[in-house]
Amino acid sequence: MSKAPSSKIALVGNPNAGKSSLFNHLTGLNQKVGNFPGVTVEKKSGTTTLLDGSVVEVVDLPGIYSIYPRSLDEKIVSEILLDHHSPNTPDKVVVVADATNLKRGLLLATQVIDMGLPTILVLNMMDLAIKAGISYDFTMLSKKLGIPVVALNARKGDGIDELKKLLATPAEKISKNIFHIWPEAKEAVNELRGSLGVDNDYEAYLFLEQPQSIGFLGKEKIAAVNRIREKHQFFPGKFQGAETIQRYGVIQDLLNSAILKSADDSWKSYSTKIDRILTHKVWGYLIFFSILLVVFQSIFAWAEAPMDFIDQTFGQIASYLTNVLPAGPLTSLLTDGVIPGIGGIVIFVPQIAILFAFISILEESGYMARVVFLMDKIMRKFGLNGKSVVPLMSGVACAIPAIMATRTIDNWKERIITIMVTPLMSCSARLPIFAILIALIVPEQTVLGVFNLQGLAFMGLYLLGFVAAIMSAYIMKLLIRVQERSYLIMELPTYRIPKWSNVGYTIVEKTKAFVLEAGKIILAISIILWGLGNYGPGDVMENAESVVRDQSSNLRLTEQAFQDRVAAYKLENSYAGIIGKTIEPVIKPLGYDWKIGIALLTSFAAREVFVSTITTIYSIGSVPEDEAITIKDRLAQEVNPDTGGPRYTPAVGISLLVFYTFAMQCMSTLAIVYRETRGWKWPAIQLLYMTVLAYVSAFAVFQFMS
Amino acid sequence: MKPGEVAIVAGFTDEQLSVKLMEMGCLPGAAVRFNFAAPFGDPICISVSGYELSLRLEEAATISILN
């Protein structure tokens, strides 16, 4: 089982060619998601056992149409295939092509062949090709390309054994050239091969064509490449169009002799019929919004039970350990810092899993491309892209996977704007705060016969977040100036029934990414906040019990109520409490006092911490025997010493709701934005603009209402 | 062009986009069919070399056609 992989296989292919189905089929659950060194591009790799028992590593590279990269994801493919002397260099490249339409897949295949690494061509979706009436002369195809060709159906697994047999055979370098480099470029290529010792012409040619993909060469060699490029006046991209035309010419000849029977498009006429409904000007939007509604409904309805279960389980673990372990700072760190911290991460797993189940089904079926198609015009008005829909949708569950989903947007400006506004979508961490505050200030009554007023308030907040996101995007569109063109040349794949195992793998992969990526940060922040909340200057903490005993000696408190008071006293005098009091003048115009200040501070790690802080600070931590005093009742009783009236007036409540809708109260999101934009500039701007927006709006609401 | 019409790609007026379009199979000499447009008239869906592509009107405008 733990045999070291004997060789490395890279999977390359067009998007929609079924590359991930093949990857999932080969590797099963032996997959892991990491990063390519130095970049944020996800690296999916796994191992597979060949028929002779040897284990090989399989790396799934991002889907591309040609070896000329346009986005970060695509660049990694040309880098890996161009660098023939690194530990990442694949021993074999498997090009996955769609057998129902081989022409475009062959463009990429011929480029890979010319780069000189041992290559195998897989004709995937052979079942559909047969259905479409296509038949190929595989021997001819293989002979003309100079590489082995396998017919496969990755969804069912037909042909996998044959591929595995080929993978087990020793790798042979190919010396065939399909593309002939222009005489004008030949001189530069020869000089480069002479000075750097590059393996073959096309590789050297690409060094000259793609200055952005040769970072692995090191400064000195890059300088040499640049010198040669300049000397021969070789402009990157100069011959790219001509190369594509030449390749397609060769491919057409090749297909003329290798296709025995060609397809007629009638097999996919059902797809056209579906499109007529799904992209209809009325039905199209109606169906899309109904799907959205179902997705959100499910996220909240189905996730509730598992979330409650996780919440209780972690609570039980913490209280069990509190009883079992000796009291002390380490136990406190474990039960009040680490375990609730991990719980705070795991609790989002159900929602994220459900969300990605839906997204993956919509993507697998081909519907997502239609959503992009439907929404592009509208989104573009606001500086976004049709492809921004998925991140914004995901943002309702959690901004972290949503921001990771922006990688599919190849235009830099549109991607940045999407990243910047996604956290304004009301994520599930805001829910507990909304729930408690709405219960407090919005009366439970029915309006217009059917609508629950509290439900309407919820919906209003989601809408508010969405409108803020769209408006901010519009403003950023005007502010960010770049000379990069935006385009939307995208394939609309034929509709298919989703492959359920692929959906399953996506769920596992995304959930794992969330737990590991966001988890680290949430956990770290939880521990820091635990420290701030449990330690204070001098000996206040040690004296807490006696001070509270003095204060409440004539109150005849139960032991439990006494302990709760001690906890509240400790929090008040801890570093967190001191910071809360320090910032009170700043938040007073919004209607908040230092107690809310502490909650604002502690909820910076994750918004939902607001609720647990509030519970501690009003010492309602544990009063199970006194059911009458719930958090809501306790908050309603809280008196504002300045006015003598209740602290949580509707004005304060709404001000808080607005604040939490807009504020960037999430360290993990900032950390992900840092990773995705590779710098502190964008997360800093994001933190600033969202905080200002939250502050100003909450201020306006409070001042207007009181 | 109107939905349902077929034409032949003659060339491109934008070099940068042409490379991308050609990679996707939209080659000079290939037949394109305008399938349908999105609800607000933009983007549009075309068929070329056996694929369905969506592109924005301004991108489609860089393709010159022969009728």
Domain membership flag for residue A635: yes
**Residues of A whose CB is below 8 A from B17:** 485, 487, 489
Residue of A239, A248, A267, A380 to mutate, interface with B, max B Cβ within 10 Å: A248
Which range has the worst mean pLDDT, A35-39, A294-298, B32-36? A35-39
pLDDT category at A1 given cuts 50, 70, 90 is very low
CA distance A90 to A95: 12
A162 and A193 inside one domain: no
Contact at CB, A489 and B25, closer than 8 angstroms = no
Domain annotation covers residue A368: yes
One DSSP character per residue, chain B reads --TT-EEEEEEES-HHHHHHHHHTT--TT-EEEEEEE-TTS-SEEEEETTEEEEE-HHHHTTEEEE-
Residue type, position A667, single letter: M
Say which residue, A90 or A534, is predicted with more confidence.
A90
Q: Which residue of B has its CA nearest to A281?
A: B39
Q: How confident is the model at residue A349 (pLDDT cuts 50, 70, 90)?
A: confident
Task: For A283-297, write each residue's pLDDT tens digit.
Answer: 999 999 899 888 878
Between A689 and A542, where is the model more confident? A689
Among chain A residues, the shortest Cα distance to B59 is held by A487
One domain for residues A523 and A421? no
In chain A, residues with a C-beta closer than 8 Å to the C-beta of B55 are 487-490
Do A491 and B59 count as a contact with CB atoms less than 8 A apart? no
Is residue A347 situated within a structural domain? Answer: yes
- Asked whether residue A429 is assigned to any structural domain, the reply reads yes
Give residue-wise pLDDT tens across range A103-132: 889 999 999 998 888 999 999 988 888 888
Do residues A654 and A533 both lie within one domain? yes
Mean pLDDT of A612-633: 59
- Interface residues on A facing B, Cβ-Cβ cutoff 8 A: 65-66, 68, 70, 100-101, 103-104, 107, 237, 240-241, 244-245, 248, 263, 265, 271-272, 275-276, 279-281, 284-285, 369, 372-374, 376-378, 386, 485, 487-494
pLDDT at A34: 66
Q: What is the mean pLDDT of residues A163-168?
A: 89
Mutate to test the interface with A, among B23, B26, B48 (most CBs of A within 10 A): B23
**Residue A495, in any domain of the structure:** no
**A461 annotated ligand-binding residue:** no
Task: Note the pLDDT tens digit of each residue in A44-71.
Answer: 888 888 888 889 999 998 888 988 887 7
Residue B60 has pLDDT above 80, yes or no: yes
A339-346 and A500-534 helices cross at what angle (nearest 10)? 150
A423 known member of a binding site:
no
pLDDT confidence band for A683 (50 / 70 / 90)? very high
pLDDT single digits (tens) A231-262: 888 777 778 888 888 899 889 888 888 888 77
Q: How many beta-carbon contacts under 8 Å exist across A and B?
A: 105
Is the CB of A104 less than 8 angstroms away from the CB of B22? no
The tally of domains found in chain A comes to 4
The confidence score (pLDDT) of residue A436 equals 82
The reply to whether B31 touches chain A by the CB within 8 Å rule is no
Residue of B51, B53, B57, B59 to mutate, interface with A, max A Cβ within 10 Å:
B51
Instruction: State whether A301 and A433 are in the same domain.
Output: yes
A62 appears as a binding residue in the annotation: yes
Enclosing domain of residue A549: 515-705
Which has more pLDDT, A593 or A557?
A: A593
Q: Of A233, A249, A269, which closes a domain? A: A233
pLDDT at A156 over 80: yes
Residue A240 lies in a domain: no
The answer to whether the annotation marks A20 as part of a ligand binding site is: yes
**A375 assigned ligand-binding residue:** no
Please indicate, yes or no, whether residues A355 and A430 belong to a single structural domain of this protein. yes
Which residues on adjacent β-strands are paired with residue A180? Answer: none
pLDDT over 50 (residue A411): yes
From A101, A237, A488, residue closest to B51, measured CB to CB: A101
Q: Do A101 and B52 touch (CB under 8 A)?
A: no
pLDDT tens for each residue of A311-328: 889 888 888 888 888 888
A492 with B24: Cβ contact below 8 A: no
Q: What is the ipTM of this complex?
A: 0.92
- Taking only the tens place, the pLDDT of each residue in A492-502 is 888 988 888 88
DSSP string computed for A413-476 = HHHHHHHHHGGGS--GGGHHHHHHHHHHHS---EETTTEEHHHHHHHHHHHHHHHHHHHHHHHH
Fill in the DSSP letter of residue A546.
Answer: H
Can you name the CATH fold of B6-66?
Answer: SH3 type barrels. (2.30.30)
- How deeply is A353 buried, as exposed, middle or buried, from its count of CB atoms within 10 A (0-12, 13-18, 19+)? buried
Query: Taking CB atoms and an 8 Å limit, are A487 and B17 in contact across chains?
Result: yes
User: Does the annotation flag A515 for ligand binding?
Assistant: no
> Would you mind telling me the total number of residues written for chain A in this entry?
706
* Residue A623 pLDDT grade (very low, low, confident, very high; cuts 50, 70, 90): very low
Look at residue A38 in the predicted model and tell me its pLDDT: 57
User: In whole numbers, what is the pLDDT of chain A averaged over residues?
Assistant: 84
What pLDDT digit, counting tens, does each position of A174-193 carry? 767 788 887 778 888 888 88
Amino acid type, A647 = R
Q: Which of A252-261, A475-484, B51-60 shows the highest mean pLDDT?
A: B51-60
Q: Report the residue of B54, B55, B62 to disrupt the A interface, i.e. the one with the largest count of A CBs within 10 Å.
A: B54
Residue A625 has pLDDT above 60, yes or no: no
Q: Which residue has the tokens 């056209």?
A: A272
Please give, rounded to a whole number of angstroms, the shortest distance from the CA of A237 to a CA of chain B: 9
